[in-house]
Structure formats: C-alpha cells, structure tokens
Structure 1
Amino acid sequence: MAGLRVLLAASEVVGFAKTGGLADVTGALPRALARQRHLAAVVMPLYAAVRRSGRPVERTGIVLPVPMGDRVLACRVYRSHLPNTDVPVFLIEHQPFFERDNPALGRGLYQQSGPGGDKVDYWDNGERFVFFSRAVMELVPHLGFTPDVIHANDWQTGLVPVYLRELYRQHPGYQRMRTVFTIHNIAYQGSYPRELMNLTGLPGWLYNPGQLEHYGFNFLKAGVVFADAVTTVSPTYAREVQTAEYGYGLEGVLANVSGKLSGIVNGCDYEHWNPAHDRLLAATYTPETVFEKKPLCKADLQRRFHLPEDPNAPVLGVVARLVNQKGIDLIMSAAPGFLDLGCQLVVLGDGDREYHDQLQYFRDRNPDRVGIYLGFNETLAHAIEAGSDLFLMPSRYEPCGLNQMYSLKYGTPPVVRTTGGLADTVVNATLENLADGRATGFSFNDYTASALYETVKWALVLYRDRPADFRQVVRTAMAQDWSWDRSAEAYVKLYQRVLGG
C-alpha cells in the first residue's frame, strides 16, 4: 500500500499544550509516521497555553461553521508545525471554550482549582469537546489532503467516529475514511447528562445501552463502539480494561468489541530522552561510559536537592503526578523503610494536596535524606532520570507509562508494579532472568507497601553485594529499543488493516 494519510485528533500535543502522556503520543507518533513516508497532520484546540508556548502560529483564513444544537458557532483555524518537522498542526480557535487556561489563576486545560485547592472539572467540558469533535469533521475538506484514517484519542475526541459514521459518511471525500480510537486512560470517560445530546446533532435514538448511553452520555464509550479499531497503549492494558478491576465500568463494552481491540506500546522519544546527547545533564554518557559518567549526574542531583553528596547512598527517584493512580501512597508508606536502608529519596511532581502535605512533612523531618519539588521542572526530570540509582513507579494501574522507558535508556533500573505497560516493558531481575541476561529492572505484583519495600530491598542487594549483576541489569536496560519508529510500524499495520490493506 502506498503512503497513508492520517489525521490525528487530540486535545493536547507536546510543545503546544500538555497535561500528560497523551500529549507526548500525539507529538511523537505523527513525527514517526512522517519519517516512514506517510502523510500525517494533527488537529487540537487553540488554548492560551499554545499562545504562551512560543510556537509560531499563523492564521489560515479558514473559518468553520460548527453546528451546536440550534446555533452555528464560527471558529477560525490556525496552523503551525510540530517542532523541527513539516508535520502540520491545525489549531481550532474558539476563545470562550479554549482560551481560559492560566496557571497563575489555577486554571488548566480541563480543570480549575477550587476554594480548597482541589482540582475541579470545568462545568462545560462536555460542550467544549462536542464543539471540538464537530470542528474536526468540518476541518477535513480544508486540510489539503483527504485522510485515509482519522486517529482520535481519549474521550475528548470520542464523538469523532460517531460523527463520521452517522452524519458525514455520505459527504464527498468522507466515504472511504476510517477511524481508529485510542484509550490512553480509561478512568477518564467524559460522561455527561443526556441533555447534552441536544447539542451534537446526532439522532436521539443513539442514546441507548448498546451505543452512547453509560450512566449518562459517555464520550469514551462512543469512541469504542463506533470506531473501526480501538487501541490501548499497551497489550497488557488492552487485556486489563476488559476486567472489572481495571475497566471502570466499561469492561463489558470492551469485551464485546475485543475483536477490534488491541494494544500498542507507546514509543519513547529518544531525540529528547537520550543520555548520550542530553544537554540538561551534568554529564552525558553511553552504555560504554555509564559507570564512569553516571556518578557525576548523581552528585549533581544530590546538589540540586540539597542532599549530602554521598556516592554510596542509593538514590531513589520519582517523577510522577502525585495522585492515587501512581502508587504515591505505597511510596509514602514504604519511605521510612527506604531511609532505614540508607537510601535518599527525591520526588518531582504535582497533584493532590494530601500528597503535597505528606511529602512536605516527610521532607521537613528528614531534610538530609529527602528532596522534593512540587510542580514540574523539565531540567529536574532529566536530572532525576540520570542521577538516580533506581526509579520508583509502583502504579496502581499504568496504561503504558513513559518514565520507565526513560529510566531504561538512562541506565536507572525501574522498580515497577506488573500492570499495563509496566508489565510489557520491564523484565524483572529474578535469578532466572539474571542468568539469561534478560533482566532490565525490578517488579512486583501485589499492590502493597511491603511488596514495594521488599523489591527495593532486593534491588539494593544487587546494587551493594552483587555489583556485576546490577551492572548487567543497567547495560541490558540501556540496550532496549522502545522507539517511536517501532510503535509507528504497529500503527501503520493497524491502519492498513482497517482500510482493508
């Protein structure tokens, strides 16, 4: 099959606006597709964050009419490119919906800070992303090419497959188009009152238990039911979301469409995350120089967090959203034990107030053993990946995860729970896997602080008493290929399958 034409629709893209891993995927996958000679483009909302990003953005002169119930709202279309590429990024402007984010005022892309500091969703998120999904469909004739596939991502674009099948299929240029829908995190579904259906232009009879209804009008379910193919961001997560433990109420729906459901592990952007040429590090290194140069990164990390520069104290690193999903409760419960084992702990993240308070209290009691940074800092994120001896990622669930892949590349063995993408990307350092030369990190099954503690304890046995084994784990980890080119090849095969190729 000749080169494919793919439009990725998403609510955030790295370099323009980002809250999580979705943005990394939608920034990296189209680059990889373009490298493989496919035509890719991206469409996203024009947030205030985009204007603050410094990315060059220009008007196209395109004004789209977007039906919303008994109204038609106009939106301008702007255009940019993914950094250092020719991949176009189309930006949907509608200031009342999208240009409200302002970190100084506690306003993000989807949420704002409440009176107590907790994050609450914007009251009109449903309306905002009905508008965005409809605008994506109206944009298609103005792209300069006709997409073979529209690749929608997460609940914010869950209506795109519905619109194509129910309202646009017979329009010129739309007939052969197919849709792929990717679930990056099933916990976020976009569920709203039935009355929101009135704004969509979709026939009311679609609101039934087999299609759009699931405790309300459910955008994620819409994407799952109507897309030609559904993916999650790892094979293990694709299996997990079909179970009651991980399916967040949609496990039956996903089990019913298992024939079109698959998992593709996200790639790692090795242009940005590579210790061989990472300008944010105190020292760059390769697999050949890791044991010579990594200690320089460790000392730099200790200085940055005002910890004693002790080369013999194992540094445990954490870069995560400070929320229940990420296993922060396990880390906090096990942390006193880590200090008793002679470790230092450094944490970078932002999230729930309770974890902010717990970390601050723990750091105040152990200022020479614990360092924290509440918020996000790109330089510190790289410093932690390179300077830590072990990276902690004991997630309750993890659709794919990126930090464990960064850790592998940086020779910082990750300590993970065997869930989702963590299970697919980290090979546990059992005696058998060590003997076979396959081990790349450390993992455990039970979601308990004691399981995390015992796993770290075993890792430290290798670190201190069996350094040859630990070094082998480091080298094997750094040799892994979780590049986006690898992932893009899997997506291309999927696109070809839905197109009948």
Structure 2
Amino acid sequence: MRILQVSAEIFPLLKTGGLADIAGALPLALVAAGEDVRVLLPGFPAILAGVAGLAPVADFRAPWGGHARLLKGHIATAGAADVPAYVIEAPDLYDRPGNPYEDANRRPYGDNHRRFALLGWAAARLAQGLDPVWEPELVHAHDWHAALAPAYLAFADWRGRRRVRSLYTIHNLAYQGVFAPWTFTELGLPHDAFQLNGLEYHGQVSFMKAGLYFADRLSTVSPTYAREIQTPEQGFGLDGLLRGRSHVLNGILNAVDDAIWNPANDPLLAVGYDVRRPGGKTTCKASLQQALGLAVAPNAPLFTIVSRLTEQKGLPLVLEGLDALLAQGGQLALLGSGDGWLEDALRRRAAAAPDSVSVTIGYNEPLAHQLFGGSDVALVPSLFEPCGLTQMYGLRYGSLPLVHRVGGLADTVVDCTLEDMAAGIATGFTFDEFSGEGYQRALRRAFALYARPADWRRVRATAMRRPADWGTAAARYIEVYKWVLGQIN
C-alpha cells in the first residue's frame, strides 16, 4: 500500500511531545513490514535542516493565494531504511525560531490556521498528483495540525481518478485547533463544510472536528482512550460525534522504538543493563544522583517525572504529596516545562531541598534517558492520558510507573496487588480516584514494595519484559488501512 503519513513534527528532527516519537517510529515499522510509506512535514527550520537530499518537486498555491513549494528528500535512520519525506517550503509561515506553535511569549501564532491548513492542503494535492511519480492510496493524518487533510480529500474532484482514502488519528482530544469563524474564508473549502456536520464548532472553526467528521476511518492511541472520548467527561464537546462514528473508531496502543529506548545499548546511560543483567541500573542511579546534585543514596527510592508541566499531567498532586514523599526518604528528579506557576512552585521546592529534589526546566533528550535509567519510579498521575509514552519508557527501563488508571495508562500498567504479584503480572502502581488521597495511597504502596527488595526485583523484571514493540502496533495499523481501502469487509 502507498501510504502518506502527515504530521507537524517527527523524531529525531523536531519534537515537542509524544506525537513526534510516534510520527518517527510508525513509518519505520511500516517500511519494515513492506509498505510504501512517505511522510509529509511542514518546513520548520529543524525539519529543513534534518531532511537529507531535498530537491524541488512542484510549486503550488495555498487556498488563500500564498506561494509554497513541495520538496522531496529522505530521513536517514541508523540501522534502518531511509524514510522518503516531503517537506513544504513556505518561509513566511514556517521560518520562525523556537517553538513551532507559539511565539516567545507562549501565545499561539496568529496565523496558525494558515500554517496547518497548508499541511492538509499539501496532503490533498499530493493525493491528486502533485508529485507525478508517486501518489498515495491512503492519507494518514495525525492530530489537529493535519486534520484538514480528510476534509480537503472529501471535497476534492475525483472524476477520472480513484478517490484517495483517509485515516485520522487523535493523539489528544484536548488540543483541537479551534479558530475564529472568519478564518474559514481562507481555507479553500466550500460553504457547505462550515456547518454542524462539518467544521463548525460553537460558531468557530475546529480543525479537529474536520478530521473526525470527514475521515473515512478514525483511530486513537489506546483502546481505553477510544472508549473514554465517547463520554461527556473526556469528549471535550465532541463525544456525540465520536459516539456516532464509533463503528469506524479503533484504539491502537502506541509502542516504544527499541532502537532508541533500550537500556541494554542506550549510549546516553552511564552503563547498559537489561532484565538478565540489572546491576547496571544501580550505577546509573548513582551517576544520575551525582549529576543532579542529589544525595548519592542507593537506598533512597528515586522518583522521576518527564512531562509537560500542566494540571492535566497531575502535577498539583505531586506538589501536594511531595512532603510525604520526602518524609519517607524518597527523592524526586523532574524534567519538563509548561505552566509558569508550576515551574515556579517546583523550582522553589528544589531550592528548599537540593539534596532531595532536582528540577530541570526545559527539554533535554539525553537527560530524559538518564532519568528513566537511574530512577526507581516514574510518576504519571495524569488527570487523563490518551496513551502516554512516559510509563512505557519507565517499564522498559525498570522505573516502575505510578499512574492514574485512565487511558493508555490503564492499558499498560498492572497494579502491585497481592494477587497480581502472585500471578506474575504486576508492573507498577495505579490509583482510580484522581485525588491527593488516591495518589498518596499509591505512593505508600511504592515505598512498601521498595522495602521488600526481592519482590521489587521480581516486579521490575516483569515490567522490563512487557512487550511494547512497533511491529505489533504497525500490524494493527495495516489492518485498519486495509479496512479503509476496502480490502477487508
């Protein structure tokens, strides 16, 4: 199958969150499975610099009349086949420093509707022959940035050619790409598209809703989240639409790229280790404690957070429970950025207890690997979590996840109850009620298990053995692609 993957970012070229990891790993897994896959990306500086061999394919015009150029090159990947890549060259839209979505004051760019409409528009133009030597059979659009692609395909003129189908993947329903109603006039869609059965969302334009309504099939990043988003509590106003399209909605659990996230051969760790030779984790912990200025205390359980710093990620629960964590002899090491008040509150706690609390604001890929390699527990107490990769990295690196049992967290972490430990399936700590008490009960269970080293080692080994490979996930996507193309009834 000829598949075009469309996303706003891709690892290792540009990453602000988990979307980039998935956008980078899925094409590689599909290529390994024998599919003909190409990616389409906006021409942000980091992407233009990272795609090799770029050459012009065609010039084209945006719906509002702006000029753009489609380039083609490839993304080189060590130990795997190169991934062919299309890049949209439009300097007036994409050539900006820093965050691809926001200005220096963390305000979304005022022309984001144009910047990401062009991504969907270019996907539709490719489907209609913009590159004379390759046309996709299916366009796979990721998150709100690419969500107009299914709408453009739905309204395209297919006379004389086979209609190209679409799959739209929801990575986080909370971020919907909602814009003022006047922006619709610049999108190049017919008037009929701006209605309840279309892009209209409480009088505004919703890119997310375009993908949900017009795509031939829908997917999201975990089975539990696929059910949760059909409820008013987690549907963010779109649960009715999702219930109406539940027959074409699949939940496919994300995976971990073993070429990048593998403690046995991770060059970013002080030493490698695996489930059969776990001793290197002790060295990684001591190295991390020393590097962060924490007390080098092998018997102190080290908790880590690698996350966007937002309320959605459950950071207020962590702040509320930090005194109890420290009182029980624990340490906390955090990496992330986000809401200013959370950054400030966490910095204050680190300054007050530098031997026990380390806070690094920003993002640092090597440090993220070292935090999972050196920590004992990965904290992911999110209010909601579509899938989550943090807990998967924790499992892979033997940093037992402590999670709120929602979305992909519920699908990947088994609580350390007595019966699940006896059955050999426990992998971490979960809590059901999103409250300080629920979180702190799970925290106490983590300390209780840590005080029983033999049991801790058994659970850690189970966690590290949990399969989370992209080959399995890619097979599920291939099955969905076949459904979309009518190859499976």
TM-score by length of 2: 0.96
Amino acid in the other structure paired with 1:393: V
Shift of the alpha carbon at 1:143? 6.7
Q: Which residue of 2 aligns with 1:97?
A: 93
Shift of the alpha carbon at 1:145? 2.6
- The size of the alignment, in residue pairs, is 482
Shift of the alpha carbon at 1:133? 1.3
Shift of the alpha carbon at 1:63? 2.6
Deviations 1:75-127 (A, max 9, x none): 24242224232210111010010111x23xxxx1011132xxxx211111012
In structure 2, distance between residues paired with 1:49 and 1:61: 18
Within the candidate set 36, 41, 45, 1:48 is matched to 45
Q: Give the 5 Å matches for 1:247-262.
A: 247-262=235-250
Q: Which residue of 1 aligns with 2:17?
A: 20
In structure 2, distance between residues paired with 1:442 and 1:448: 15
Matched, 1:467 2:462: no
Could you list the runs of 5+ residues in structure 2 that have no partner in the other structure?
none
SS of 2:286 mapped into structure 1: helix
In structure 2, distance between residues paired with 1:133 and 1:68: 11
In structure 2, distance between residues paired with 1:169 and 1:245: 39
Within the candidate set 98, 104, 112, 2:103 is matched to 112
Q: Give the 5 Å matches for 1:260-299.
A: 260-290=248-278, 292-299=279-286
Within the candidate set 191, 215, 233, 2:178 is matched to 191
Q: Which residue of 2 aligns with 1:77?
A: 71
Deviations 1:194-219 (A, max 9, x none): 22222222210221112221121111
Q: Which residue of 1 aligns with 2:346?
A: 359
Deviations 1:110-164 (A, max 9, x none): 11132xxxx2111110121122211222234217333221100111111111111
- Say if 1:143 and 1:24 are closer, same or farther in 2 by CA, change over 3 A: farther
State whether residues 6 and 147 of structure 1, in contact with CA within 8 Å, keep that contact through their aligned partners in structure 2.
yes
State whether residues 30 and 87 of structure 1, in contact with CA within 8 Å, keep that contact through their aligned partners in structure 2.
yes
TM-score by length of 1: 0.94
SS of 1:345 mapped into structure 2: strand
Amino acid in the other structure paired with 2:61: V
Within the candidate set 367, 391, 395, 1:380 is matched to 367
Deviations 1:2-27 (A, max 9, x none): xx211101111112212111111111
Amino acid in the other structure paired with 2:141: A
Identity of aligned pairs, percent? 39
In structure 1, distance between residues paired with 2:262 and 2:340: 33
Q: Which residue of 2 aligns with 1:345?
A: 332
In structure 2, distance between residues paired with 1:67 and 1:148: 23
Matched, 1:457 2:451: no
Matched, 1:488 2:474: yes
Q: Which runs of 4+ in 1 moved over 4 A?
A: none
Shift of the alpha carbon at 1:282? 1.0
Could you list the runs of 5+ residues in structure 1 that have no partner in the other structure?
none
Shift of the alpha carbon at 1:343? 0.4
In structure 2, distance between residues paired with 1:59 and 1:493: 32
In structure 2, distance between residues paired with 1:289 and 1:96: 52
State whether residues 15 and 82 of structure 1, in contact with CA within 8 Å, keep that contact through their aligned partners in structure 2.
no
- Say if 1:121 and 1:31 are closer, same or farther in 2 by CA, change over 3 A: same
Matched, 1:64 2:59: yes
SS of 1:356 mapped into structure 2: helix
State whether residues 222 and 411 of structure 2, in contact with CA within 8 Å, keep that contact through their aligned partners in structure 1.
yes
Shift of the alpha carbon at 1:57? 3.3
Shift of the alpha carbon at 1:437? 0.6
Q: Which residue of 2 aligns with 1:88?
A: 84
SS of 1:121 mapped into structure 2: coil
In structure 1, distance between residues paired with 2:485 and 2:17: 30
Amino acid in the other structure paired with 1:377: N
In structure 2, distance between residues paired with 1:203 and 1:258: 26
- Say if 1:430 and 1:135 are closer, same or farther in 2 by CA, change over 3 A: same
Deviations 1:390-434 (A, max 9, x none): 111101111111111111111111001101110101111111101
In structure 2, distance between residues paired with 1:178 and 1:76: 21
